[in-house]
Structures are given as C-alpha cells and as structure tokens.
Amino acid sequence: MNKAGGKSFATVAVVARREREDVVETVLAVESILHGLGVEVLIEDATAGFLADNGHKRQILPRLELAAASDLVVVVGGDGSLLGVAREIAHKRVPVVGVNRGGLGFLAGVSPDQLESQLTAILDGGYGSEDHFLLAARVMREGEEVAISTALNDVVVHPGSMAHMMEFAMWVDGRYVYDQRSDGVIVASPTGSTAYSLSAGGPIMHPSLDAIVIVPMFPHTLTSRPLVVRGDANIRIKVLKARKTAARVSWDSQVSQELEVSDEVHISKFSTPLKLLYPTGYDFFESCRSKLDWASRLGNPSES
C-alpha cells in the first residue's frame, strides 16, 4: 500500500446504489460529516432520489459529471456498488473510498461504526492508497466490435445456463493455450481473486500484483487448473460451441452480452487504474483473516 498524507479534498462526491434503510442512514451521516468539515458536497442524482431532506443544500449531478467535478468519491454500499462506480469513473482518475454496507466488503475500507473518525482522518490526509487495475474486454464478431466494457473484478465467459457446458479455445499473447469443454472460464484481476474466482478454486492474489488469473469452471478434464499470466497479457477466447442456450460474457456479473459461435472475447488490462483509499492501518492479510474466516492455531498467537 502506498502511504499518503497531507492531501486535502475540497470537493467530495457521495454515491450509493441501493435504497436500503441502513444505506440511506449512512449516506445522510456521511453528508453531515462532510458538511461539518467544511467540504463542498456533491450527491449523485440517483442517490439523491431516495434521500430525505436533512437541511443541507445539495448539489446534484449525474455520476460522470460528479466524478469529473470532485476530488474524492465516497461510495456507500458493498463491493458491488464499488464495482459499478469503478467501471464508470476509473478513467476520470478520481480516488474512491468505500463505506461498507454490504457483505464481505473487501474493497470498502471504512467501517460504519467508525464512520466519523475514519472519514475525518481520510479528509485530513490520514489514509493509505492502492491502485487496482481493471480489465477491458471487447466482443468481436466477424471482425466487428459488438460490445466493450471494463471490469474491476472479472470477465466471465459462460454458457448462459449453468446446467450446460460450452466449448471454447484460448490464446495468450497470440500463443495457443487449449481448447476446453467446461462451464466456462473466469478471467480475474488481483482484486477479483477474492470474488467469483476464489469460489471456483482460484488463488488469492495480493492487490499489488501485476498479474491476471484464468480459472476454468468445472472443466471436463482432471488436469486443467488455474493459470496466472502477466498483467499486460492479451487474452483471446473464441466460442466453439454452446449447447441449447447462447453463451454469454459478463463484466463483474453486472453487465453482460450474448455470444454467438465463433465470437471472440479479447481481454487486456485497462489503461487507467482505480485508486482506492483506506483508513491508515488497513492490512490486506488482516482483511483476509477476518472476512474469509481464516483459521487461527490453538493457543497463543505467534509473536513473530
């Protein structure tokens, strides 16, 4: 993690995806804290639509305009909310901090029960930062691009229905890897290694790694295992056959596109990383211990 300090954020944007009681309460609390610190506050238009009036004058903007006009974006919600924000605003190069109101919250570093102290410290320059690269994937059909998007976690090619297998071929940097018959394949960034990839048997990768993991989903072979390649590798997946239902490609399980036989999905690192801020003292391994329930040995913990 890169250490930073002394940086002030004069204009802060607030974004939330879900209209849920605890999310709404936290957004209103964030807004009050920021106003109390003398910060100019921008509220995303979709978020403002489910907020009650709390006496603060609100500047409301669409997400892309809001990102361009702010020094920091605060996302209230779970990792899913952060994924959506990352895909849309990473190219604006504005740092993002997450307030966890979801499940595991690997990306959202601010705890709701320490909201005021942690958010105030970050605004005062007490934070650490990490650059998380995104994946860019485009769908090519007979030489024409028919879809393109970015993904912070993963790009998944699958048969559309999990009850059926598909067949595909894969190349890395122009070199043939294999033909495979399986439930699909997950191509994940280090950020996404603790998400769907992990559930499919992929490795946990430290966010600082410049690498991409390719994880086959229930392959029809005993020897196909996760494959880690360089972060700047170019991956090409060609649909050979999909049974009964059309194959699909999904970006972060939030955006998807139907695939036809012979379509190709080209995957590479996106040019602009997402800068995530965390409270001082955040530690990736501690996060793994607490969120993945890693076992501790019996007796006193090691002091080494």
One domain, residues 118 and 146: no
Question: What's the CATH code of the domain at 169?
Answer: 2.60.200.30
One domain, residues 143 and 128: no
One-character DSSP codes across 269-281 = E-SS-EEEEEETT
pTM reported for the whole predicted model: 0.91
Measured in Å, how far apart are the chain's first and last C-alpha atoms?
22
Mean pLDDT value of segment 221-225 = 86
Per-residue confidence (pLDDT) for residue 178, from 0 to 100: 96
One domain, residues 108 and 218: no
One domain, residues 10 and 126: yes
One domain, residues 127 and 226: no
One domain, residues 103 and 151: no
Asked whether residue 13 carries a pLDDT value surpassing 80, the answer given is yes
- Label residue 109 by pLDDT band (50, 70, 90): confident
Contact present, 201 and 224 (Cβ < 8 Å): no
Asked whether residue 3 carries a pLDDT value surpassing 50, the answer given is no
Asked whether residue 23 carries a pLDDT value surpassing 80, the answer given is yes
Is residue 302, in this structure, part of any structural domain at all? no
Q: Which two tokens stand for residue 161?
A: 């229905």
| Cα–Cα distance for residue pair 185/117, rounded to 1 Å | 42
- The set of residues, in sequence order, having a beta carbon less than 8 Å from that of 42 and lying 6+ positions away, is 11, 12, 13, 14, 59, 60, 61, 66, 69, 70
Nearest to 249, CA basis, from 186, 163, 167, 171 = 186
Nearest to 82, CA basis, from 189, 158, 187, 191 = 191
- The residue type of 86 is A
Range of the domain at 166: 135-269
The more confident residue out of 269 and 284 is 269
- The set of residues, in sequence order, having a beta carbon less than 8 Å from that of 221 and lying 6+ positions away, is 180, 181
**Looking at 79, 154, 252, 263, which residue is catalytic?**
79
One domain, residues 170 and 93: no
Is residue 297, in this structure, part of any structural domain at all? no
One-character DSSP codes across 49-74 = TTPPP-S---EEE-HHHHHHH-SEEE
One domain, residues 29 and 85: yes
Element (H, E) at 137: strand 135-141
Mean pLDDT value of segment 71-86 = 94
Mean pLDDT value of segment 136-159 = 97
Is residue 296, in this structure, part of any structural domain at all? no
One domain, residues 101 and 191: no
Is residue 175, in this structure, part of any structural domain at all? yes
Per-residue confidence (pLDDT) for residue 290, from 0 to 100: 84
Is beta strand 11-16 parallel, antiparallel or unpaired with respect to 72-77? Answer: parallel
Per-residue confidence (pLDDT) for residue 298, from 0 to 100: 52
| pLDDT per residue as tens digits for the range 236-279 | 999 998 766 789 999 999 999 999 999 999 999 999 999 999 99
Does 79 qualify as catalytic in the annotation?
A: yes
Is residue 72, in this structure, part of any structural domain at all? yes
One domain, residues 143 and 84: no
Mean pLDDT value of segment 153-159 = 96
Is residue 304, in this structure, part of any structural domain at all? no
- How is residue 114 annotated by DSSP? G
Give the total number of structural domains in the chain: 2
- Label residue 301 by pLDDT band (50, 70, 90): low
Mean pLDDT value of segment 175-194 = 96
One domain, residues 143 and 252: yes
